[in-house]
Amino acid sequence: MPANTRLPLLVTALCLLAAGTTACEPSGDHHARPTTSGTTPASGRVNLLAEDWSHLPGGTVEPGGVRIHGLGRQIVLQDGTGGQPHPPVNLRGPQLTVHGDFHIRATLHRPAGQTASLYLYGEVPIVYDEWLQNRQGLRITITEHQLNLTVWDGHSATPATNRTTPVTSPTTITVTLERHDGNLTLTTDDTHMSAPDPGVFDTGTVTFGADADPDAPDWTLNTLEATARNTGSVTVRDTRTPAQQTPPPDSLRALAETTSRRLPIGAAMAAEPLVSDDGYRALATTQFSMLTTENALKPQFVHPGPNTYNFAEGDLLADFAAANHMTMHAHTLVFGEANPRWMQQLDPADRERAMTEHISTVAGHYRGRVAEWDVVNEPLSPEDDGPDGRPGLREHLWQQAMGESYIDKAFTAAHTADPDATLYLNEFGAEADGPRWDALYDLVARLKDRGVPIDGVGFQSHIHEAGDHIDPAVLRSHIADLAELGLSARISEIDVYGESPRVQATQFAGVLSACLSEPTCTSFTTWGITDRYGSTAEHDSYPLEPGDELPWDQRLRPKPAVAALQNTLRAARR
Ligand code: 9MR
């Protein structure tokens, strides 16, 4: 293929993610380079840096290679503990298809004091905002005096191999990782170490990632090549191959189009499975007309350091939504959870400025691409701890610094940053009558009285216990009460856990029908698509122990809930 007819992998990645052929165009700031995507040079050698590295979080494509700046991204728990590293993955970059023996050789420039890490994943990690599960993959780390090889086999959080050897590390170093005869061997000019291969690349793919110490000077990946050995082969996965997916007429999104409301049907989605799991991506594109960012735009993902923003995963989701003609609902600007440690440790006097800066930068970045924001998530206390026996405001860093006014300030800042976005306050447990609904109603009524630019309320609709069962008639009455205040509503995060498939189906369908019956209910969104990646999974277990809360099971088979949702949509045909 002549070089000038080759497409940047970025474009092919978006085509892969696209449902419509017209959508195969990149957007945003890219520095895509020519690529050999989809080709196999006769030598069985692939120049991976000729592919797209422009979306690597913390990476900058330069003439001499890819400069790696550490983001210091970590998974921090709500009490400020934890801190599991969350290294960048080049999700929109090259995926290598491998068979048999091969080696991957990297040359890098590592300034003194820097720790350079290169990741080769057989399966990309599963990422949530309270944990990251490493699956099959390996990390090569080079410090001043040491070379380290860490191998995860997908059966445990503990690495199967973690070996270190001394290295006389010059500034420029070449490392070669070879898979051969059931072993993994790592070689540099002056050292050599081997470990048994637990089948890290048995998936037949390699996805790359790179990380750095944020406090040391950046390192540069100057070359990265894969070469087949013996009878093995290496190719860059041709992401253009999969056929474009057209929503079948009985899909949720196609049926919803036939309702008089043309109600958007959404799901919370994550970047990693959209890229790495063809079945998940197919459901995402064919079944849903709306996308909520599950974790990618929570503060600790998007704003890992006081002056460090990372939009890579959020941009992937925004481009995916646009390419597939989905409305993008962004979650969430201000929340008591999922905040990076630096935010949790802010002096109270600095919090208002930090909050409004965060909002203006993040909502400003997505201006024009995001239709709606959850501006404030879960402002109510989980307990009935207010003076009137209802929930008071949830105590967290923003509320402690500003009292209730943090909500006013957050909405005002979001409206300034993106005047066209529809702005929601999102809450759980307010679908039934009782003190929680009363507290929510009074809160949003006060906001409206004060002229706060709030457009609507999200009813999360998590049904995790029998006591959470939602009565559609009561939910309808709440939506109607909000309409009288001039507020719209949406079903923002429904999932139904621990119920029989029949009860689960009835609950999903009842809530959808309540939404369809109220003209001010603007959309219906499930909190995920499949139990394979559901948010109630037991995350410490290998293999992952999924929950059962979503419409598609962990093998991506539809449960009765899917038919119940389809029937509810059919019944609302215009
Ligand atoms: O789905 C999210 C999961 O990956 C996180 O680990 C969890 C941590 O708080 O948050 C989940 O999403 C929540 C959302 O942000 C707000 N409402 C409740 C959702 C489900 O727990």
Query: Which atom of ligand 1 approaches the CA of 535 most closely?
Result: 1
Buried b (16+ CB within 10 A) or exposed e, 305-328: beebebbbbbbbbbbbbbbbebbb
Q: Which residues contact 386 (CB under 8 A, 6 or more apart)?
A: 392, 439
Ligand 1 atom with the shortest distance to the CA of 131: 6
Please say whether the dihedral angle defined by the alpha carbons of residues 513, 518, 519 and 521, taken in this order, is positive or negative. Answer: negative
Spatial separation of the C-alpha atoms in residues 458 and 521, rounded to whole Å? 9
Whether residue 169 is predicted with pLDDT greater than 80 in this model: the reply is no
- For residue 244, the model assigns a pLDDT of 56
**Amino acid 358: pLDDT:** 98
- Dig out the tokens for 363 from the structure: 């909502």
Structure tokens at 47: 């120049």
β-pairing, 456-459 with 488-496? parallel
Q: Any idea which residues carry the catalytic annotation?
A: 378, 493
Domains and CATH numbers, the chain: 22-237 (2.60.120.560), 261-571 (3.20.20.80)
Whole-number pLDDT of residue 9: 35
93: its two tokens: 């970059």
Note the pLDDT of residue 43: 54
How far apart CA 511 and CA 524 sit, in angstroms, is 9
**Residue 419, phi then psi, degrees to nearest 5:** -65, -20
Measure 529 CA to ligand 1 centroid, in angstroms.
Answer: 14
pLDDT of residue 166: 93
Q: Which helix (H) or strand (E) holds 181?
A: none
Task: Tell me, in angstroms, the distance from the centre of ligand 1 to residue 497's CA.
Answer: 14
* CB distance 272 to ligand 1 below 6 Å: no
Q: How far apart are CA 535 and CA 527, in angstroms?
A: 8
- 């290295």: which residue's tokens? 167
CA dist 573 to 1, 11, 259, 309, 566, Å?
49, 37, 4, 44, 11
Helices (H), 122-189: none
Query: Mean pLDDT throughout 190-207?
Result: 95
Residue 239 is predicted with a pLDDT of 61
Question: Does the beta carbon of 77 sit less than 6 angstroms from any atom of ligand 1?
Answer: no
- Which whole number is the average pLDDT over 535-563? 94
| d(C-alpha 333, C-alpha 319), whole Å | 20
Minimal CA–CA distance to 23: which of 310, 353, 244, 250? 244
273 CA distance to ligand 1 middle (Å): 17
Helix axes 560-571, 501-517, angle to 10 degrees: 20
Give the number of other Cβ atoms within 10 Å of residue 19's Cβ.
19
Cβ(148) – ligand 1 distance below 6 Å: no
Task: Please check whether residue 149 is in contact with residue 195, taking contact to mean a CB–CB distance below 8 angstroms.
Answer: yes
Q: Count Cβ atoms below 10 Å from residue 267 Cβ, excluding itself.
A: 27
What pLDDT is recorded for position 159?
A: 96
Ligand 1 centre to CA of 534 (Å) is 10
Burial class, 173, CB count within 10 angstroms (exposed 0-12 / middle 13-18 / buried 19+): buried
- Range in 26-40, 197-211, 245-259, 290-304 with the lowest mean pLDDT: 26-40
Across residues 479-499, what is the average pLDDT?
98
pLDDT at 18: 42
pTM: 0.93
Residue 250 CA, ligand 1 centroid: distance in Å: 29
Q: Under the phi-then-psi rule, with left for phi > 0, alpha for psi from -120 to 50, and beta for the rest, what region is 279?
A: alpha
Sign of CA dihedral 491, 503, 501, 257: negative
The closest of 401, 432, 422 to 514, measured between CA atoms, is 432
Q: What is the mean pLDDT of residues 287-312?
A: 97
Q: Is the CB of 129 under 6 A from ligand 1?
A: yes
549 lines ligand 1 (CB under 6 A): no
Element (DSSP H or E) covering residue 195: strand 192-196
Q: Residue 277: name the closest of 124, 136, 156 by CA.
A: 124
- Ligand 1 center–CA 535 separation, angstroms: 6
Cβ-based neighbours of 330, under 8 Å, separated by 6 or more: 292, 293, 297, 314, 363, 366, 370, 372, 373, 374
Preceding omega of 81 cis (within 30 degrees of 0): no
Q: Indicate if the pLDDT at residue 199 is higher than 60.
A: yes
Q: Is the CB of 337 under 6 A from ligand 1?
A: yes
Mean pLDDT, the chain, whole residue set: 91
Ligand 1 atom at minimum distance from 332 CA: 15
Q: How far is CA 431 from CA 138, 438, 490, 536, in A?
A: 46, 11, 11, 20
| Residue 339 near ligand 1, beta carbon < 6 Å | no
Closest ligand 1 atom to the C-alpha of 428? 17
Q: Is 481 in the pocket of ligand 1 (CB under 6 A)?
A: no
Nearest Cα to Cα of residue 376 among 405, 350, 353: 405
| Residue predicted with more confidence, 29 or 47 | 47
In a 10 Å sphere around its CB, with 0-12 CB exposed, 13-18 middle and 19+ buried, how is residue 113 labelled?
Answer: exposed
Sequence-distant contacts of 129-132: CB under 8 A, at least 24 apart: 129/75, 129/295, 129/298, 129/300, 129/301, 129/337, 129/338, 130/75, 130/77, 130/82, 130/338, 130/539, 131/75, 131/84, 131/539, 131/540, 132/75, 132/84, 132/85, 132/86
Q: Give the pLDDT of residue 3.
A: 32
Mean pLDDT in residue range 4-21: 37
- What's the CA-to-centroid distance between 171 and ligand 1, angstroms? 43
Structure tokens at 525: 């969104």
Mean pLDDT of 480-488: 99
| 495 Cβ closer than 6 Å to some ligand 1 atom | no
Index of the ligand 1 atom closest to the CA of residue 377: 16
Cβ–ligand 1 contact at 128 (below 6 Å): yes
Query: Which of 77, 332, 535, 544 most suits a substitution to test ligand 1, by most atoms within 8 Å of the C-beta?
Result: 535
Percent of the chain with pLDDT over 70: 91
pLDDT digits (tens, 9 = 90+) for 231-247: 999 999 866 545 557 89
